[in-house]
């Protein structure tokens, strides 16, 4: 009887429907300006959730899937906007030259973003969502951007445009760095001459997907959280990688068939498939957490 019950449970588990995912996509759908649409991986429905009038970009979800953070034009300056229950808030100061989104902490109490103090200088800030106080986390005199938390909330990963010496010449480069938020210890994760940015940490916390841009365009790469095992995910034009909440997929903006669409692929580079196929530009997909 136990064996039969075990077989029945196994069959039931295999019969479960596939995971359902929701995404926010920045899209020029139907020939319009860039707006945010809520859809799913099969694009069975499209719903406008942020109109195009403020030029929304860079969407990021809170862990419970209830608050959407993004960058928009507010009073002629790019700043960060939070959208929850149909209410728009701008809890982040925009700085002298604007600010851009980063990501929420796993417990939803903190938010990372980057603030520009000069045209070529930007620093990572951490906003305490309970007090409204912001703390500056970087002070390098470079352009620090796209910060995200690691799944344990103890570190952040971001990109930094910096000047370094290569073959006796000073060059500008972009690389991915991980910073321990308690000790301040910094680990450089990428060292190649290509421009690396827009990193996203896997839900398991062991790998970082990022885009690397050089003379041949941009490619999605994956590196270990300790900077080892750097690998090319797949050899197609791609940027803005984002892990699904369960770690089963990586979504990215790809220009593969002559148009810019949202694509997804397994973390081992297999099962590449297009999510969007319309003639308009679709990019920067953010997976919506289920809140479970």
**Domains, the chain, ranges and CATH?**
17-287 (2.120.10.30)
The whole-angstrom separation of Cα 17 and Cα 41 is 14
- β-sheet bridge partners, residue 149: 156
Instruction: Report the predicted TM-score, pTM, of the whole model to 2 decimal places.
Output: 0.89
The whole-angstrom separation of Cα 94 and Cα 151 is 27
The whole-angstrom separation of Cα 125 and Cα 237 is 31
Judged against a pLDDT cut of 80, whether residue 12 lies above it is answered with: no
What average pLDDT does the structure give for the chain? 89
pLDDT digits (tens, 9 = 90+) for 42-67: 888 899 999 999 999 999 999 999 99
* Mean pLDDT of the region 207-233: 96
pLDDT digits (tens, 9 = 90+) for 144-164: 999 999 999 999 999 999 877
Q: Which residue has the higher pLDDT, 216 or 150?
A: 150
- Residue 40 CB partners (closer than 8 Å, separation 6+): 20, 21, 22, 23
Helix (H) or strand (E) holding 9, with range, is helix 2-14
Judged against a pLDDT cut of 90, whether residue 213 lies above it is answered with: yes
* Mean pLDDT of the region 89-99: 82
* Mean pLDDT of the region 243-261: 94
Q: Which residue has the higher pLDDT, 29 or 268?
A: 268
Got the DSSP string for 159-200?
EEEEEEEETTEEEEEEEEEEEETTT--EEE---SSSEEEEEE
The whole-angstrom separation of Cα 236 and Cα 106 is 31
CB contact at 8 A, 58 and 283: no
Q: What is the pLDDT of residue 6?
A: 37
């Amino acid at each position: 009887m136990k064996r039969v019950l075990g077989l029945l449970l196994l069959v039931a588990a295999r019969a479960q429907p596939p995971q359902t995912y929701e995404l926010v996509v920045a899209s020029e759908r139907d020939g319009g300006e860039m707006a945010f649409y809520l859809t799913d991986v099969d694009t069975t429905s499209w719903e406008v959730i942020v109109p195009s009038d403020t030029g929304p970009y860079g969407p990021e979800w809170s862990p419970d899937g209830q608050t959407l953070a993004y960058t928009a034009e507010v009073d002629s300056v790019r700043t960060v906007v939070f959208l929850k229950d149909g209410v728009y808030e701008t809890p982040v100061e925009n700085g002298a030259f604007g600010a851009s989104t980063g990501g929420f902490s796993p417990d939803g109490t903190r938010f990372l973003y980057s603030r520009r103090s000069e045209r070529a200088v930007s620093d990572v800030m951490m906003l305490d969502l309970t007090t409204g106080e912001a703390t500056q986390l970087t002070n390098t005199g470079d352009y620090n951007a796209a910060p995200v938390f690691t799944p344990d909330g103890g570190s952040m990963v971001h990109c930094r445009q910096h000047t370094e010496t290569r073959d006796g010449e000073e060059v500008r480069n972009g690389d991915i760095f991980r910073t321990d938020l308690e000790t301040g210890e910094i680990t450089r994760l990428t060292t190649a001459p290509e421009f690396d940015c827009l990193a996203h940490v896997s839900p398991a916390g062991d790998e970082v997907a990022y885009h690397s841009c050089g003379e041949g365009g941009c490619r999605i790469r994956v590196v270990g959280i300790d900077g080892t095992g750097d690998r090319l995910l797949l050899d197609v034009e791609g940027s803005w990688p984002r892990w699904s909440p369960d770690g089963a997929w990586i979504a990215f903006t790809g220009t593969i068939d002559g148009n810019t669409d949202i694509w997804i692929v397994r973390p081992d580079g297999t099962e590449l498939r297009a999510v969007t196929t319309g003639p308009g530009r679709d990019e920067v997909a953010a997976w919506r957490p289920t809140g479970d």
